[in-house]
A and B are shown apart, each in its own frame.
Chain A
Amino acid sequence: MIQGKGVSVFSGIAIGTAYLYNPNQQHFPDFCGDVQQEQKQFDNARETARQQLQELFEKTQREIGQEEAMILDVQMMMLDDLDYLEEVQSRIQQGCSAARAAFDVGNEFSDTFAAMDDEYMKARAVDVKDMSRRITTILCGGQSGFSMEQPGILVANDLSPSETVQLPKDKILAFVTKQGSTNSHTAILARIMNIPSLVQAEIDLTESIHGQQMIVDGFEGVYYLQPEPEILQKMQQKQAQASQHQQMLEQYRGKATITKKGQKMKLFANIGSPEDVKYVIQGDAEGVGLLRSEFLYLGRDSFPTEEDLFCAYRTVVGELGGRPLVIRTLDIGADKQVDYFGLEKEENPALGYRGIRICLTQEEIFRPQMRAIYRASAFGPVSVMFPMIISVEEVIKIKEFCAKIQQELSNEGIAFGDVELGIMIETPAAAIISRDLAKEVDFFSVGTNDLTQYTLAIDRQNAKLGKFYDPHHPAVLALLKMIVDNAHAEGIWAGICGELGADPTLTETFLAMGYDELSVSPGKVLELRKTICESEV
């Protein structure tokens, strides 16, 4: 039995098979029995790769330009390169599987380019790898080469947002990552999915883990591999207890969220994609307080169209069956890099070109979002909020833009409803001028993760700083009080959609401050309703 610690991001017990996820190491056999068979498979995969590249080449030529397309042409030539082919062939003859040979030779060639004393040539390392990966992937018969045959526990070094998008989520019982923080995207996903998970886990990511029996204890922040029978039994008991507690919470399903003295609180859920609506219903949230639209932009290689966005939003509106929905416009940049945005690498992405700054600069990105949101509002209650606001001028520009979109839709005879306009309060600047901002908008939603990071000047991606990161810091709490007071002074409502909203030790504080809404992970709703219903405030 191996046992180790990690930082828990969601409580609960998971018991299942461990699946090791390693983006650099697709799962394929190392050796093969029949040399001719493998060579034939390699040749077929190469032909498929050529067709894929040819299509990509034509698409790129049509949509982007000759210069860009040439890179794909070079990749096609690399497919025919005799140095590469001879090396692969010789590996196969030595007994390597086709996938292993393509993968290894691609990496070795790529390393040679990466080592060259020429920035442009270094960049070609990516092309070689890309070309070779394509063949490997085709040989693995899948998209990413990663699949889960049965439900299990996903173990990884770290998962990027675009990787998590492609995972078979219905099969994942828990996440265990070596890197990451309680605010990283795997953590956010785990909370939405309501599954126990560990980040910063002390675990050796050796191939041997793959397929072993594993237990994740999200209460204690511990995992076990190949557990001894006593441990397994103990954990099964604990799992049963947790499910009993969950059943006890069921009595709060459908109940009003109201304190003993009659103060009401709206309990909404945070979600990332249309698929997550099922967790909202399961968790009995009264609406969606934060739909992160960036997940619609991840895991793909071009911008979603207005129609893509509209379909996604309309699906959510429909499935929510009249419950309110707050959509946050794109908050990409910073920690969520997407290749096709062509964003430059930044020294300080958290302080960089992100959120509303992109939307206010690139209308072609903003317009389809706003049109899709307005169009979806014809089908049910929809509000929109804008991230990373720091000034009244930004809000005025946004309002002008929204008025323009409404005008356009009217002219085109397209239906839309009333859309409340709100803003995220997640910069100290917005908190401090919240009285002025409140005059311009319909509601505030406080993003406590960013507000805390900016107020305390602590990078939330940096695991080393965890011990300095105090979400209960008096400065943060003082800002929270100020924000809700200013909202109410101008007659608008204020909510909290950051992780802090789900912190049961602060529920009384938020009630006392007068917050109108808490938007939390779907799985936390019933627990929080219990706390509020039992509160004396």
Chain B
Amino acid sequence: MATITHIIQDPLGMHARPAGMLVKEASKYPQCTIHVSVEGGTPVDAKRIMGVMKLAAKQGMTLTVTVTGENEDTVALQLQDFLKENL
């Protein structure tokens, strides 16, 4: 299992648009199970939009993403890049 963290920079936090983008990004890796949690809360499936939106993660909060599966380290790094760029 690979784990990365990211502090949300987007002033609007994890709203519909970034949530949608994250789900799309995570769905690119069908071979991996990807979970996301905020500030140590219950992890949700990063491929499910309702769950990701319900995190209601705000600016300044820490997102934790865990990846399990084939090439999990590479996938985790790619997700880290994605988050830096979009959130």
Contacts and interface: CB of A to CB of B under 8 A. Distances in A.
A71 B54 CA distance: 16
B15 interface: yes
B15 A81 contact: no
A246 interface: no
B50 A70 contact: no
Interface of A: prevailing SS: helix
Interface stretch (B17-25, B35-43, B67-75, B77-85): B17-25
Contacts of B56: 116-118, 121
Interface residues of B, number: 18
A297 interface: no
A128 B54 CA distance: 12
A77 interface: yes
B12 A120 contact: yes
A74 B50 contact: no
Contacts of A84: 50
A120 B17 CA distance: 12
Interface residues of A, number: 23
Contacts of B51: 81, 83
Interface string A97-118: 0000000000001001100111
A319 interface: no
Contact of A127 (B16, B17, B58): B16
Nearest to B19: A74
A430 B56 CA distance: 51
Nearest to A128: B50
Contacts of A116: 54, 56
A285 B15 CA distance: 57
Contacts of B45: 82-83
The 8 closest A-B pairs by CB, nearest first: A74-B16, A77-B49, A74-B20, A70-B17, A81-B50, A118-B56, A81-B49, A83-B50
Given A71-B16, A124-B53, A127-B16, 8 more contacts: A70-B16, A73-B20, A77-B23, A81-B49, A81-B50, A83-B45, A121-B53, A121-B56
